Amino acid sequence: MSKTTSQSRRQRRAYELWLKKNNPAAYKQWKSQSFQRGKTLSNEFEEKVRENETTRLEKIQAELINKLSEEGKTQEEIDRHVNVWAMTLKPWGSDEKRLNLKDAEKEYDTIKNS
**pLDDT tens profile 15-72:** 989 999 999 998 888 888 888 988 998 999 999 998 999 999 999 999 999 999 999 9
* Tally of CB atoms within 10 A around 84: 19
Residue type, 102: K
**Cα separation, 55 vs 53, whole angstroms:** 5
Average pLDDT over residues 76-94: 87
End-to-end distance of the chain based on CA atoms, in angstroms?
49
In this model, does residue 13 exceed pLDDT 70?
yes
Q: Taking a C-beta distance cutoff of 8 angstroms, is the pair 65, 78 a contact?
A: yes
Residue 78: predicted pLDDT: 93
87 CB-near residues (< 8 Å, 6+ apart): 99, 104, 107, 108
Q: Tell me which amino acid residue 69 is.
A: S
Q: How far, in Å, CA of 83 to CA of 28, rounded?
A: 53
Distance of alpha carbon 23 from alpha carbon 31, whole angstroms: 12
pTM for the whole thing? 0.64
Greater confidence, 97 or 72?
72
71: part of which helix (H) or strand (E)?
none
**Confidence check: pLDDT of 1 > 70:** no
Average pLDDT rounded to a whole number, residues 88-92: 81
